[in-house]
Structure formats: C-alpha cells, structure tokens
Amino acid sequence: MRPIFLSLMMSAALCADDKAEPKPLPSTEQEKVSDGWENASPGSLGLKTAPLEEMLQKLKDGTYKNIHSVLLVKKGKLVLDEYFRGTNAEGNSQEFGPDTLHTVQSCTKSVTSILIGIAIDQKLIRGVDEPISTFFPKEAELFKDDKKAAILLKHCLSMSAGLSWNESGIPYTDPRNDAMGLNKSRDPVRYVFERSVTGAAGEEFLYHSGISISLGEALHHAAGMDVDLFAEKHLFGPLGITRFRWPKTPSGAVHTGGGLWLRPRDMAKLGQLFLNKGRWGDQQIVSEAWVRESTKQQVPYRGYGYQWWVRNFRTRDHLIEGFAAQGLGGQFIIVLPDLETVAVFTGWNVGALTEQPFDMLQRYIIPAVDVK
C-alpha cells in the first residue's frame, strides 16, 4: 500500500475502465453484517422504490462508471447497501464488499475536524480562537510576521489562513502542485507555515491539504498522542469502527489531509453521527455546537465550514440543505438533515465522472426519500 493519499494519482491508468460492467453484490436485505447498523427495506420506511431500482439498474448496466459502493441511511436505518466490481485507485480490477477498506481521500479532513471538536469538548484545546502558533512552539520563528501570528485555529479549519498554496486547478501529478511536495516533506508544519502571506486570515478560502495535516499535528500536540490513537479511543471506538487504516507522512505525522481508509458502512456512521447532532446511541460523542459550527458556511462566498462542505440541492419547488465530506476520486458522505438521510459513495473516477454521485442523488435518491 502506498503511504500517502496523493501518491495514488500518479498515472492516467487510475481512471475508470469504461468498458467494465459493475457487478452488484447482495443487497442489504441479504447481507447481514454485525456492526451496529439496523437494516430495513426502503419500502418499510415509506421510500419510493422505483427511483432506487432505476439507479441500481444504471449502475449495473454501466451508465454510471466505476462506482464501488452506494449506501443509503434513512431515519437511522440502512436501507441500501450495494457494492460493485470496479477499478481501484492503483488501476487494478477489484471486487468491493461491505468489509473492504476503501480510501476516503479528503473525507479524512472532515474526520480530523470531528477530532478537533472532541478535543475542544475535552478542553484539550481552548477553542477555535486559539492562535495556531500556540500548538507549534518549536516553530515560533515562523509566526514572527504579524499576519501569520494572527492565524487562528478557525482559519485553518475553514481553509482561510491567507497563505500561498498551489493545489487546486493543477494536476496532482504536476511537480508544481504543492500537495506533492507536502507529501515528501520531513516537516509538513514548516512546509506549510513558511509560505508567504497572500492576505489577512479569514478573508478568502483556498483549498489546502497542508493546513489539514497541520490541524492533525496541532491535535497531536494538544492531546499528547498520535491522531489515529486519539480517533480510535474517542471516535472510532464509540462508533464501533473496529477496522481502519491511517498511514503517516515521511515525517511521522498521521496523514490527516487524506490518508484514511474506512469501510463504507463506517463512513455512513460518521454521517449519521452528524445527522444525530453528535450523538451515537445514548452517547454524546462530539458536542451539538461543534456539529452546527462545522457544517455552516464559515468563509465568505464559499460553501465551506470547518473541513466540511456545505451543499444544497433543489427538488420540485424547494431547497434541501445539506453538508458533505468529499474526497478525490468520488468518495462522499452526504448528509441531508431535513430528509433524515445519509448517503455514502465510493469509487475511483477523475474529471467530470467524479460528480456522478451528485447526479444519482439529485435524480434518484432525493426523489425516493423526499416523501413528505
């Protein structure tokens, strides 16, 4: 396994095989997995089954390319749990199933945000107004510039730190992409914060995986333990997530920018946790206030919260508000609170095909679950 998430993007061979026909595995009603989920048929919860059946047929006949899984949770019950054969991130054909660990890419960032929220709840971190320099005393000289000293934790969470970075709009295979240099760095914190200032913190959004790795290192400093161990104790354990993979960068930092691997059913648990305002069963895992702040727009003119995307959908004559964890190649955890719905997609696609899950959501899933 390659240790860094962006190293998976090294050739055009990673694109989906358009000629391969997906092969569905048994659906939720046949597949029984003991992991805390309660299964239900869509019809038993009043969902319209015809749109879902049409969507599955289009997955089967190859209309939608290289989708590895589609899961749907309604009112806390798993009503769709489908897996397919496809091409993985390394260009190899693979059969995907409920126990397959899957790269979640930048959905990792949203998990990191949850962990920051837990650390704030536990008073390991004072709050989002704490200067980011507080967490990196050994790199104090990097923050002598007044504008860098003004960067707060909330600016890093919302990707508005005001530092130069070249990641979006340039292929990850291009050596000029800063994310590639980040993945090779032996000191990712220094690699990020020695960058020049482009504007005042909090003013402008700039997609920045380096900032997300720095958030993980800030948590490491505050909690006194590696991020993966903190997650296992305070998030994954309480959710019953018993298997995951979370590689480290060459510096030894847990790759909180995009390195996490999870089972899709466990991705759905993270979405349901936020749909439940931070509760799982009878336990408040992260505060309701953190869920609320993380999933509302934090940057002017950009639908971005604290490492979560804010996304809205329109159906018939009304707007449906939602939020999502999103990862390269088509990894999505999409939460629609008003519809009591969580949708999860995994796959491996580039370019326009990455957006296929949103087409499925708009055409089939929302019409099936929006039964008010």
- Spell out the residues 6+ positions from residue 267 whose beta carbon is closer than 8 angstroms to its own: 71, 104, 107, 325, 331, 333, 344, 346
The answer on 169 and 94 residing in a single domain is no
Provide the domain limits for residue 342. Answer: 14-98+331-372
Q: What is the pLDDT along the chain (372 residues), one digit of tens a residue?
A: 333 333 333 322 222 333 333 333 344 444 456 788 999 999 999 999 999 999 999 999 999 999 999 999 999 999 999 999 999 999 999 999 999 999 999 999 999 999 999 999 999 999 999 999 999 999 999 999 999 999 999 999 999 999 999 998 788 888 888 988 888 889 999 999 999 999 999 999 999 999 999 999 999 999 999 999 999 999 999 999 999 999 999 999 999 999 999 999 999 999 999 999 999 999 999 999 999 999 999 998 899 999 999 999 887 778 999 999 999 999 999 999 999 999 999 999 988 899 999 999 999 999 999 876
Domain boundary among 223, 248, 274: 223
The answer on 76 and 31 residing in a single domain is yes
| Residue 130, domain member (yes or no) | yes
| Residue 197, domain member (yes or no) | yes
The answer on 195 and 141 residing in a single domain is yes
Count of domains for the chain: 2
Q: How far apart are the first and last CA of the chain?
A: 46
Structural contact between residues 150 and 134, judged by C-beta atoms closer than 8 angstroms: no
- Spell out the residues 6+ positions from residue 91 whose beta carbon is closer than 8 angstroms to its own: 11, 13, 14
Torsion of CA 259, 115, 343, 24, to 10 degrees: 40
The answer on 218 and 149 residing in a single domain is yes
State the pLDDT at residue 18.
Answer: 33
Tokens for 203?
């003013």
| Residue 282, domain member (yes or no) | no
| Residue 178, domain member (yes or no) | yes
The answer on 129 and 51 residing in a single domain is no
Q: What are phi and psi of 109, to 5 degrees?
A: -60, -40
State the pLDDT at residue 32.
Answer: 52
Domain boundary among 198, 223, 248: 223
Domain boundary among 188, 223, 258: 223
| Residue 115, domain member (yes or no) | no
The answer on 153 and 89 residing in a single domain is no
Burial class for 171, CB neighbours closer than 10 Å (0-12, 13-18, 19+): exposed
Answer positive or negative: Cα dihedral of 299, 363, 67, 275: positive
State the pLDDT at residue 150.
Answer: 98
Rounded CA separation 315/232 (Å): 38
The answer on 142 and 54 residing in a single domain is no
Burial class for 59, CB neighbours closer than 10 Å (0-12, 13-18, 19+): buried
